[in-house]
A and B are shown apart, each in its own frame.
Chain A
Amino acid sequence: MSRSYFYRSIVPILLFIGMTVPAVAGEPTEKIRQTTDKILSILGNPALRDPSRAKERRKLIRSAIDERFDWEEMVRRSLATHWAKRTPEEKKEFLRLFSDLLERAYMGKIEEYSGEKVRYEGEAIDGEYAAVKVNIATKKNKDIPVEYRLKKDRNDWFVYDVSVEGVSLVNNYRTQFNSIILESSYENLVKKIKEKLAQK
């Protein structure tokens, strides 16, 4: 299986997964677990399984994700040196595009979740930054290490990066956005993302 296929299929599942009994869990781990449980209960809700309610279900999942992900921080880190030059309107627009892009890429896979086991393997807190290590056991018995990076803001923890097998989501988009902007323009990047979103 090619690596990019794997990455794209596993990451969304891993973004929000089922729980197992943890060893010692601190606050950041608890926050990850809360959001995960929320999403799982949405996925497990028989009333929402009906295809007529698919849109509603997606909205619920998306809002659970929005509660835990700091989109602005993720976008700032992904646009990197190009963030400061953006006008407030552009920033607002890109925030929406970025989160929609991720939703489009991974929502389908989240909905395909079917009982993969998750182990919470520990966390490290350093001031207002934290890393939560998680391990996913896929159906084929492969262990996939995932690391959530969180930042504390007003007594709550928010995710600003997810790494799968040591590969950072932010770094991945940072590199791509940077090369598209430098090769053409920011406007072209926005255009590309909009085209991708329109593809549905």
Chain B
Amino acid sequence: MMKRFDLELAVGLFIIAGVICLGYLSIKLGKMEVLGGRGYEVYAIFSNVGGLKTGSSIVIAGVDVGRVKSIILDDYQAHVVLNLPEDLKIQEDAIASVRTKGLIGEKYIEITPGGSEKIIEHGGRIRETQPAVDLEELISKFVFGKI
């Protein structure tokens, strides 16, 4: 009687451990933040985000520092909320641009730090933004011209 109970217990624990590992792996691979993200949130308005997605990277000096938390259409522009590390300071004149990995890869946000002494507070806005550049449109414009 005892032996079977032990066996069932062991199997049960093993399965629970397996599910936990699976869960951990999915979350890690899915790049989700388990505890709801880091402390510093700012937003920026872009005229065109070119297919940027929630969960896209935010990069400073080539380093992945955060994730795009949400993208909402607001007055026909993209209102993008950025989730950044709490100890990061973004200056008032920092510039956020939508860039592409490689030339035709996925989109991400690059932030170049500014020179102002004022720091954008949590919930504040990065005023200076650059939209995604539509490369195809640009090429076509300058290869073929307009009618």
Report, as a range, how many residues of chain B touch the other chain.
20 to 34
Residue contact B138 to A165, C-beta cutoff 8 Å: yes
How does the 8 Å CB contact mask read for A150-188 relative to B, with 1 for contact and 0 for none?
000000000001010111101100110010000000000
State the majority secondary structure of interface residues on B. loop
Chain B contacts with A in 62-94, Cβ cutoff 8 A: 91, 93
Residue contact A168 to B128, C-beta cutoff 8 Å: yes
Interface size on A, residues (CB 8 A): 30
Residue contact B95 to A1, C-beta cutoff 8 Å: no
Closest to B46 in A: A166
Closest to B115 in A: A83
Taking A161-B128, A165-B138 as contacts, is the C-beta distance between A84 and B145 under 8 angstroms? no
Report, nearest first, the 9 A-B pairs whose CB atoms are least far apart. A83-B115, A76-B115, A80-B115, A141-B146, A166-B131, A171-B95, A77-B93, A140-B145, A81-B113
Q: Can you name 7 A-B pairs with beta carbons within 8 Å? A: A80-B112, A141-B145, A142-B141, A166-B48, A166-B130, A166-B133, A168-B128
Which of A's residues lie within 8 Å of B, judged by CB?
A: 1, 3, 6, 76-84, 126, 129, 140-143, 149, 161, 163, 165-168, 170-171, 174-175, 178
